[in-house]
Amino acid sequence: MKTITRALLLTVCLAAAPLFSQQMDNGLRGVWKLNVEKSEFADGSKAKAGRVNWSEHGWVFAIVSADGYLYADGVITDNGCTLIGVPSDYSCELKIITPRHLQLTLKQGAVIQRVGDIELLDKDTTQAIHHVTPKDGKPYVEKTIWEREAE
């Protein structure tokens, strides 16, 4: 009986191993440009431009809002999720749902500010759906479409 139990336990562990070692699809790597016309912003104002550069270590993000304000930050994914360019009380969690679908949770202290589902739709298009809970105001959803920069 012990042999059967051990064999069953080993089988379950081996079957689950790919779930724990799942990696991001390499197709996410590269420079992506925001498609302003296909994106949907909560207040109706469209961003002027946006870029994100993904590497094996994370990504750097920059966007120019409708009023010309430039925002940039970065995420290092080597050992979990580490934010760059944000206040020190912000943290993040990155979950790989599938290699082509990532979920980024951004917190300020213990409060979730944003949950973003980032998906590689095809080799040249990604989509990000962000569920945002601002400190003041009603929660809202934004959808951004990103297209691969020509090399």
User: pLDDT (tens digit, 9 = 90+) per residue, 85-120?
Assistant: 999 999 999 999 999 999 999 999 999 999 999 999
Rounded to two decimals, what is the model's pTM?
0.82
Q: Tokens 């010309």 — which residue?
A: 68
- What is the pLDDT of the chain when averaged over all its residues? 87
Do the beta carbons of residue 31 and residue 53 sit within 8 Å?
Answer: yes
Residue 43 has a pLDDT of 76
Do the beta carbons of residue 32 and residue 49 sit within 8 Å?
Answer: no
Average pLDDT in the 12-20 region?
A: 39
Report DSSP state, residue 86.
S
Residue 1 lies in a domain: no
Residue 100 lies in a domain: yes
**For residue 21, what are the contacts with CB-CB under 8 A and spacing of at least 6?**
none
Closest CA to 42 of 148, 122, 126, 114: 114
Q: Looking at residue 64, which CATH number applies to its domain?
A: 2.40.128.20
Q: Tokens 């870029």 — which residue?
A: 51
Q: Which domain holds residue 101?
A: 24-148
Residue 52 lies in a domain: yes
Written as one letter, the residue type at 22 is Q
8, pLDDT greater than 80: no
Residue 19 has a pLDDT of 40
Residue 5 lies in a domain: no
Measured CA to CA, the distance from residue 3 to residue 52 in angstroms comes to 52
* Structural domain count, the chain: 1
Residue 111 lies in a domain: yes
47, pLDDT greater than 90: yes
30, pLDDT greater than 70: yes
